[in-house]
Amino acid sequence: MESMKKETTIRQFGNSAGLIIPGKMLQRYNLSVGDRVHIVETERGLLITLFDPDLEEAMTLYEEGASDYRKALRELG
């Protein structure tokens, strides 16, 4: 998939502010008005993602635990 790059402007919406996401990007990522996204601070700047970073961290911890205790989990099942 070819990377899309687009500069946008932070705009005032009442007492809040928002970004305009170009239509092609909305289509590419199947986004619509009202969809929820997450904004995460990273070392390189802000990341806008559809995925909940807390859920991703929890799933990673689960996978590590499930791997470590696979035999015990099988015996419980």
For residue 57, give its domain range: 10-76
Domain count, the chain: 1
What's the pLDDT tens digit per position in 16-53? Answer: 999 999 999 999 989 999 998 888 898 999 888 887 76
Residue 2 within a domain:
no
Amino acid, single-letter form, for residue 12: Q
Residue 35 within a domain:
yes
**8 A C-beta contact, residue 53 and residue 60:** no
CB-based burial, 36-47: b 16+ in 10 Å, e otherwise? eeeeeeeeeeee
Residue 21 within a domain:
yes
The pLDDT assigned to 11 comes to 93
pTM of the entire predicted model: 0.56
CATH number at residue 30: 2.10.260.10
